[in-house]
Structure 1
Amino acid sequence: MLTKSSTELIRRQNRALVLGALRRKNGQSHTELAVETGLASATVTAITHELVDERIIERTEAPPAGGRGRPRILFKQRRSAAYAAFVRISSDMLQYSMVDYSGTLIHRIEEKRDNAGQKIEDFAAGIRSTLFRLASKSRVSREDLKAISISSKGVVADDNTTLLWSSVLGSQQIDMRKTLASDWDAQVTLNHESLLVASALHSSLSQTEGRPIPRLAALSLGHSIGLGVVHADGYESPRARAPGFGHMIHSHGGALCRCGSYGCIEAYAGSYAILRAAFRVPSNTIPANFVPFLEIAKIAGAARKGDRLSSAAFRDAGTAIGNGLARLISLHGKMPVVFTGPGVPFFDLMRPGIDEGLSASLGVRIEGPPEISLSLDEERLVFEGHLNHTMAAIDREAIAPRAAGARIDKPGTNGRGGEET
């Protein structure tokens, strides 16, 4: 006989299955949910009744198939059931987004960053202030905001809340959870941006293929060089990681990197590295904090016109990346690689070096190079990565475990003090 605790665990798991199915495709019938989740019809009925009563999902009517008969009853997420805020930290900008429970963007704020350097106290105060402004503009209360998801390139601690090093703050470390704990009750998480990009790409491409892709890497070209890797072997959920690819050693004692080390991949492939090489600036020169991509575009234009120094700068960048990818494949096996980021328009100039760097690996020479593709819209992928990770966590950790019959807001309200529309 099942104990009370095991019965409750099964209940949570089943609720999570239904919520996950609606997250993949919002607006499904009872029958579709049963097929999608593999649950018995009676179980789906009980769970949907619970979730409707808790004001997590709602029933809507749709025209019958073929245009005849009774309307179809579909279940959809109630947009006011919960809210999440996303913060994207990049070299030149901070982007804040508020989304509702359905994943719909409600409001966005973008702020230019001061690239001359910033004290950690001022940086933290700015994030706190703008999050308050975002919530106010979105009419979302402290109680309604269930999660704050933050992304940055750099080095993220295993606790998924502490930024250990970044091009934005250097060695100044910041614990995002502690920074925001006094302002919000929401769950605060920090992820490497490339991890979110890789997760979004893996989810999208797996849906296209109709099955989980075993492995995939997303490599971001820009001011920084970031890498996200997703594994989906066996029956386990996909696992995403963001190894410190840009700060792997390409040449021992080589060019100076923004991290202070010598010979990192980024010290040859980052935008500041390309600028330094194209103008024959000594490789031990302190890297620029920020390089406008208009400058990189000018160097690319010169390379395409045959300028040897400019061409060599991009080729050397590609070689460093190719060598790094060869090591990655040696450790993890062959996998598709998707290049993203603001440096993608210059990929053709890096490609000869990337192929050369990859060919240095015996495994690549035997099995052939990885499948390589490009994705131009990195900003969209970061947003989708935030969305996938954060809303799934809200479903799993806040909604699925809730006691039966509990409500998230008062009946007849939208959770923000107004009448339900």
Structure 2
Amino acid sequence: MSITSLSPREIARRRLLDTLRREGPLARVEIGQHLGMSPASVSELTASLLDEGVLVAEEGGDTLPGLIRGRPKVRLFFAETLGSVIGVWTGFNRIELRLVDSAGRNRSSRHIEYPLRNLEADALLDVLAETITTFARDTGAPDVKAIGLACQGYVDTRDGIVAWSPVLGTRDLPLASGLGERLGKPVLIENDASAMAFAIAQHDPALRVGRTACLMIGDGVGLGFLLQGELYRGARSGGSEFGHVRLRRGGPQCRCGGRGCIEAFLADYALHRDAQLIDHRPAPTILIPSEEAMGALVTQARGGDAALLQLFREAGEVLGDAASILIQTLEPDHIVLCGPGTRAMDLLRPSFEAALEVQTIPALRSLTTIQVVESSMDLLTEGVVMQALRELDLDLARLKAA
């Protein structure tokens, strides 16, 4: 359902629900402040949503900050009984799952190792469908309404297709339709860097103002870009493949088949590959090194290993070059560095900042704030379940026939 198909009153209901999704439980006066609505309008909208069971009211224990002392204000919540949503992330031979209720509260999560890259399209869809079905059954998931799935690579969200992914062995995978047919549920798919960007922005209102670029480093290098808190998409509704911008002609091999991409210098597999050449450390049993392997690499560098320190200095320089490209092409208000690769930010920072200063026009650099956000892979599933819940809210905004 498109928001353009809603009536003016339904659009107002949609805006109210979206505010509660973003901000969490609010009193009516706070809702009015966020939306610029009169108390009468807010009361009318919330009354119908309460009557329909979409929202529930609860007395707060304290008077809200900034309000007149006295009777506690009533905060409004999403009801937990409207069904549930499952979020999924497919990494390199691994699957992460999350179950949330209709109020957005996390109810269960699960990690599964499975050789996804070896599977053809139909077998891959069968495995994902069975994994999700088993997870829902084991957790007693109430009335699953939708599935949100984040995946590395070029994800066409308009047509529900994963055109290419470094963690899957098949191209042009009809993931949304194929999985939806097997599960009998709507499936929303997203690039994993975009999913993480969306989740991070939900935790920081400042990042939902202006233009925010979230540069995720870890298994690969991805970019999620937001305008006023909403994901920016290309012509096929896909996200950016910024990690595959060629930075050095004739550089190291990248998983995409090219050479010299940003990712080929900065991703975990690239750092571990180069470390193997330096000290003959054991090769990972899979293409992507484990968190334990990367942690050991960082610890050894912090211990003073000169060759590994140089490896991280060079990676920091590439990260600075990448941020400079972002600043001088997109002029973002905010750049967020996130993902597992920030575990080594203390080693990357000196050369990152030096490269940024040398490569960036000072007048443009001064317009952008840069911050590092500690982020776990949980944000990937959080991002897609939040998007799925917002899509479901479009239906909740629709006025019910008398």
Task: Identify the TM-score tier after normalising by the shorter chain.
Answer: 0.7 to 0.9
Aligned counterpart, 1:419: none
Aligned residues: 386
- Give distance in 1, aligned partners of 2:5 and 2:123: 49
Aligned counterpart, 1:76: 77
Residues 60 and 304 of structure 1: CA distance in aligned 2, closer, same or farther (over 3 Å): closer
- Give distance in 2, aligned partners of 1:325 and 1:71: 47
Shift of 1:352: 3.3
What secondary structure, in the 3-state scheme, does the structure 2 residue paired with 1:125 have? helix
- Give distance in 2, aligned partners of 1:94 and 1:139: 19
> 2:271 matched to 1:274?
yes
Shift of 1:266: 1.1
> Does the CA contact (< 8 Å) of 1:278 and 1:312 recur in 2?
no
Shift of 1:215: 2.2
Aligned counterpart, 1:414: none
* Deviation sequence 1:184-241 (CA, Å, 0-9, x none): 44331111111122223233322xx5x8432222222212112212222xxxx63445
What secondary structure, in the 3-state scheme, does the structure 2 residue paired with 1:378 have? coil
What secondary structure, in the 3-state scheme, does the structure 1 residue paired with 2:225 have? strand
Shift of 1:303: 2.8
More moved, 249-258 vs 132-141: 132-141
* Deviation sequence 1:61-119 (CA, Å, 0-9, x none): 45685999877554332111132111111225211112111111222222113377333
| Residue in structure 2 matching 1:224, options 220, 225, 231 | 220
- The alignment-based identity, stated in percent, is 24
What secondary structure, in the 3-state scheme, does the structure 2 residue paired with 1:216 have? strand
> Does the CA contact (< 8 Å) of 1:30 and 1:44 recur in 2?
yes
Please give the TM-score of this superposition, normalised by the length of structure 1: 0.80
- Give distance in 2, aligned partners of 1:344 and 1:68: 44
Please give the TM-score of this superposition, normalised by the length of structure 2: 0.84
Aligned counterpart, 2:236: none
Amino acid of the structure 2 residue aligned with 1:134:
F
Shift of 1:321: 2.3
Aligned counterpart, 1:94: 95
What secondary structure, in the 3-state scheme, does the structure 2 residue paired with 1:88 have? strand
Aligned counterpart, 1:107: 108
> Does the CA contact (< 8 Å) of 1:226 and 1:246 recur in 2?
yes
Structure 1 unaligned residues grouped into runs of 5+: 1-5, 406-421
What pairs with 1:241-252 in structure 2 (closer than 5 Å)?
241=233, 242-252=239-249
Amino acid of the structure 1 residue aligned with 2:179:
L
Aligned counterpart, 1:319: 317
Shift of 1:128: 0.3
- Give distance in 1, aligned partners of 2:139 and 2:36: 37
What pairs with 1:390-401 in structure 2 (closer than 5 Å)?
390-395=388-393, 397-401=394-398
- Give distance in 2, aligned partners of 1:32 and 1:304: 48
> Does the CA contact (< 8 Å) of 1:117 and 1:168 recur in 2?
no
Aligned counterpart, 1:382: 380
> 2:209 matched to 1:213?
yes
* Deviation sequence 1:265-286 (CA, Å, 0-9, x none): 11111122112222338xxxx9
What pairs with 1:241-320 in structure 2 (closer than 5 Å)?
241=233, 242-280=239-277, 289-320=287-318
What secondary structure, in the 3-state scheme, does the structure 2 residue paired with 1:109 have? strand
Aligned counterpart, 2:230: 238
Aligned counterpart, 2:194: 195
- Give distance in 1, aligned partners of 2:22 and 2:382: 12
Residues 306 and 187 of structure 1: CA distance in aligned 2, closer, same or farther (over 3 Å): same
What secondary structure, in the 3-state scheme, does the structure 2 residue paired with 1:255 have? coil
> Does the CA contact (< 8 Å) of 1:120 and 1:169 recur in 2?
no
Amino acid of the structure 1 residue aligned with 2:180:
A
Structure 2 unaligned residues grouped into runs of 5+: 234-238
Aligned counterpart, 2:138: 137
Shift of 1:259: 1.2
Residues 131 and 309 of structure 1: CA distance in aligned 2, closer, same or farther (over 3 Å): same
Amino acid of the structure 1 residue aligned with 2:230:
P
Amino acid of the structure 2 residue aligned with 1:159:
R
Residues 364 and 165 of structure 1: CA distance in aligned 2, closer, same or farther (over 3 Å): farther
More moved, 27-36 vs 105-114: 27-36
What pairs with 1:160-171 in structure 2 (closer than 5 Å)?
161-171=160-170
- Give distance in 2, aligned partners of 1:401 and 1:252: 53
> Does the CA contact (< 8 Å) of 2:156 and 2:162 recur in 1?
yes
Alpha carbon RMSD of aligned pairs, Å?
A: 3.2
